[in-house]
Amino acid sequence: MTRLLALVVFFLLATAVPAAAHDTEDAGPPIASDARSAVVAEDLPPGVTLDVLQNGWALRLRNESPSVVTVRDPALRVPPGGSVQWHLDAAHADEGPHPAVQPWRVAVDVGGATHQVLGEVRWTAGPSPVPWLVGAGILAVGVVLAGWVLRRPGVLAAALVAAVVVSIAHNAAALADRTAEGSRWALLGDYLPQAGCWLLGALAVALLVRGRADGLGLGALTAVGLVLVTLVRDGSVLDSSTVVVALPAVVDRLAITVSVGLAAGVLAALPLVAANSRVTTEPARQPS
């Protein structure tokens, strides 16, 4: 059963990582960018608000006033107590050459009067990823040293637990901020590669705690999956000025650094622990 689960998860990772790399280029709004879309001025009447969702991927107008609000472009009518969401090309960043600042405008009519919302997409260079990569490397070295000194599979199990928990926190925060894409349930399929890593990691931890040799192989597969999936899908967070997650950007970069660093450390420490610790290849005894 263990081998079957491992094969299923391995197949999931092998097919999903290339798909993730394709998706980051061609589909959906990115989680990280060097552009930020925001409202810079507005004269909307009381009760009418306009929100920028997912860094300009969509705009949402809420009408809590007693009057009907009409959005001129693309000609949307919002009754009292209603809301409407739409896509405006100028409000988000496109690939290719672009000005340093890209202005956008939304005009609405309320009670015979015209009101405007002025916004802009502004490009700002992101931070250097070097400190975060160095931090990941330090964590990896720490796990290797702990594995070399203690020589126990439990060290790898603890590091895997931490890496998986931090990965879950980062991805939950990313999902929470995907407010422009509809139902959260419909988006869960995008997280199958990560979920495969988490499932495999839980199985590896259970086996490592029991001193089973097959836990080492599953731990290696988990570590490889976490490093690849995290860097392919979310590595751009480390050097982008704008991060679309329900966490402060610095905290999210730290989460990615910790997850990758711990997973890489587990992978590097596995040979040391395998060579210097007592593990059993015997199947687990069934209760009588």
Residue 280 has pLDDT above 80, yes or no: no
Global confidence as pTM: 0.84
- Tell me the two tokens of residue 225: 């999956």
- The answer for residues whose C-beta is within 8 angstroms of residue 286's C-beta and 6 or more apart is none
- The answer for residues whose C-beta is within 8 angstroms of residue 59's C-beta and 6 or more apart is 50, 51, 52, 53, 85, 86, 87, 88, 91, 106
Residue 150: what pLDDT? 84
Residue 25: what pLDDT? 45
Tokens 């929470």 locate to: 176
Chain segment 131-180, per-residue pLDDT in tens: 999 999 999 999 999 988 888 888 899 999 999 999 999 999 999 999 89
Residue 277: what pLDDT? 58
Residue 30: what pLDDT? 86
Residue 2 pLDDT level (bands cut at 50, 70, 90): low
Residue 26 pLDDT level (bands cut at 50, 70, 90): very low
Residue 99 has pLDDT above 90, yes or no: no
Please give the full DSSP string across 190-216, using - where no structure is assigned: GGHHHHHHHHHHHHHHHHHHTTBTHHH
Diameter of the chain by CA atoms? 82
Average pLDDT of the residues in 85-103:
87
Residue 137: what pLDDT? 97
Chain segment 193-238, per-residue pLDDT in tens: 999 999 999 999 999 988 888 888 899 999 999 999 999 999 999 9
Residue 61: what pLDDT? 97
**φ, ψ dihedrals at 75, nearest 5°:** 60, 65
β 58-63/32-33 pair status = unpaired
